[in-house]
Amino acid sequence: MISINNLTFGYSRRKILYDNLDLELQEGNIYGLLGENGAGKSTLLMLIAGLKRPHHGTVDVGGHYAADASPEFLREVFFIPEEMTFPNISIESYVGVIEPFYPKFDVTAFFEMISEFGLTPDMTLHNMSYGQKKKALISLGLASNTRLLLMDEPTNGLDIPSKSQFRKLVAKYMSDDRVFLISTHQVRDLESLIDPIVIVDSGKVVFNETLDSITEQLLFTTADKVEEEDVIYLEKGIADDKVVAKNTLGDISRVNLELLFNAVLSEKNKMADTLSTSLKTKNHHGI
Ligand SMILES: Nc1ncnc2c1ncn2[C@@H]1O[C@H](COP(=O)(O)OP(=O)(O)OP(=O)(O)O)[C@@H](O)[C@H]1O
pLDDT in tens, 221-265: 999 999 999 999 999 988 899 999 999 989 999 999 999 999 999
What pLDDT is recorded for position 277?
Answer: 63
Examine the fold and report which residue of 159, 184, 207 is the final residue of a domain before the chain moves on. Answer: 207
* Mean per-residue pLDDT, 51-57: 94
38 lines ligand 1 (CB under 6 A): yes
Instruction: Give the chain's domain count.
Output: 2
CB-CB contact of 244 with 206 (8 Å): no
Atom of ligand 1 nearest to the CA of 39: 21
96 lines ligand 1 (CB under 6 A): no
- Domain final position from 145, 178, 207: 207
CATH number of the domain at 89, please.
Answer: 3.40.50.300
Tell me the pLDDT of the chain averaged across its residues: 93
Please check the confidence at residue 192 and state whether its pLDDT lies above 60: yes
Residues 159 and 273 in one domain: no
ipTM over cut 0.95: yes
What is the mean predicted confidence (pLDDT) over 203-221? 94
Structural domain containing residue 39: 2-207
Considering only CA atoms, which residue is closest to atom 6 of ligand 1?
A: 11
> Residues 9, 91: one domain?
yes
**Rounded CA gap, 97 and 109, in Å?**
16
Q: Specify the pTM.
A: 0.93
Q: What is the pLDDT of residue 179?
A: 97
| Cβ of residue 232 lying under 6 Å from some atom of ligand 1 | no
For residue 55, what pLDDT is reported? 94
Angle 19-23-176 (CA atoms, 0-180°, nearest 5)? 160
Whether 275 has a pLDDT exceeding 70, the answer reads yes
144 lines ligand 1 (CB under 6 A): no
Domain boundary residue among 173, 207, 241? Answer: 207
Query: Do 147 and 116 belong to one domain?
Result: yes
